[in-house]
Chains A and B, each alone.
Chain A
Amino acid sequence: AQTVTQSQPEMSVQEAETVTLSCTYDTSENNYYLFWYKQPPSRQMILVIRQEAYKQQNATENRFSVNFQKAAKSFSLKISDSQLGDTAMYFCAFTSSGDKLTFGTGTRLAVRP
């Protein structure tokens, strides 16, 4: 069974600075997909970024980027130039073909003004 581990229950960052959220996963699959979802106080989960395991290049979406280390089974999220609106729960998720999406327990990020 796939597992996703987020070892940081809570993180805090000063506005305009950079923060990295950690995620590791365990799988025997070779091809799979990884996601970061954001859940702000409005409670709606929003896709932030996704990575396909067969792509070596790290995914980037504006201020959000990932550091995908396939051998280490690590998929961290870097948020640059943090903004107050980035305050939210962040969930790492994994799926492989034909399998359900597996989520981590989340990291609560607070951006300080």
Chain B
Amino acid sequence: ETGVTQTPRHLVMGMTNKKSLKCEQHLGHNAMYWYKQSAKKPLELMFVYSLEERVENNSVPSRFSPECPNSSHLFLHLHTLQPEDSALYLCASSQEPDRPNSPLHFGNGTRLTVT
């Protein structure tokens, strides 16, 4: 399935760099999400956007800054990251954010390494 596309696939950045992760969904969904996946830990929800408005921010450090210019695109802007921020960052979308039976559709993720 190519409904949710994430770029880049891999990213290596220094702690002083500024970079952005991009996500695009072609499913006509109304909600988009950023998740962080670290080894041996449950997926951590970072941000939720519904109809381009941020509806959830799970106490994520300000060095992560999301942007949702329209319902099809989602960005995660990164600056002054720490090595512990190295992880797989997954984007997902769903038809409706507040309907629990609305399944998530995920992208392939961006593997981020902070050196």
Contact with A along B79-115 (1 / 0, CB 8 A): 0000000001010100000101101111111010000
Tell whether B42 is near chain A: CB-to-CB under 8 Å.
yes
Chain B interface category by residue count: 20 to 34
**B interface: dominant SS:** loop
Tell whether A42 is near chain B: CB-to-CB under 8 Å.
yes
Asked if residues A50 and B42 are in contact (CB atoms below 8 Å), the reply is no
- Kindly provide the distance from the CB of A21 to the nearest chain B CB, expressed in whole angstroms: 15
**Bound CA–CA A24/B45 (angstroms):** 20
Q: Total A-B residue pairs with C-beta atoms closer than 8 Å?
A: 52
Contact with B along A33-47 (1 / 0, CB 8 A): 101010000111111
- Kindly provide the distance from the CB of B103 to the nearest chain A CB, expressed in whole angstroms: 5
Residue picked from A32, A104, A106, most chain B C-beta under 10 Å = A106
Given A43-B88, A95-B100, A105-B41, is A100 in contact with B56 using a C-beta cutoff of 8 Å? yes
Which parts of A95-113 form the interface with B (CB within 8 Å)?
95-106
Which parts of A64-103 form the interface with B (CB within 8 Å)?
91, 95-103
**Bound CA–CA A102/B44 (angstroms):** 8
- Kindly provide the distance from the CB of A48 to the nearest chain B CB, expressed in whole angstroms: 10
Chain A interface category by residue count: 20 to 34
Among residues of A, the one whose C-beta sits closest to the C-beta of B45 is A100
Asked if residues A105 and B40 are in contact (CB atoms below 8 Å), the reply is yes
Asked if residues A105 and B42 are in contact (CB atoms below 8 Å), the reply is yes
Residues of A within 8 A of B101 (CB): 33, 50, 52
Can you give 26 contacting A-B residue pairs, CB < 8 Å? A9-B40, A32-B100, A33-B100, A35-B103, A42-B108, A43-B109, A43-B111, A44-B107, A44-B109, A45-B90, A45-B104, A46-B1, A46-B106, A47-B103, A47-B104, A50-B101, A95-B100, A98-B98, A98-B100, A99-B100, A100-B45, A101-B104, A102-B42, A104-B42, A105-B42, A106-B42
Which residues of B pack against A, CB within 8 Å?
1, 40-43, 45, 48, 56, 88, 90, 92, 98, 100-101, 103-109, 111
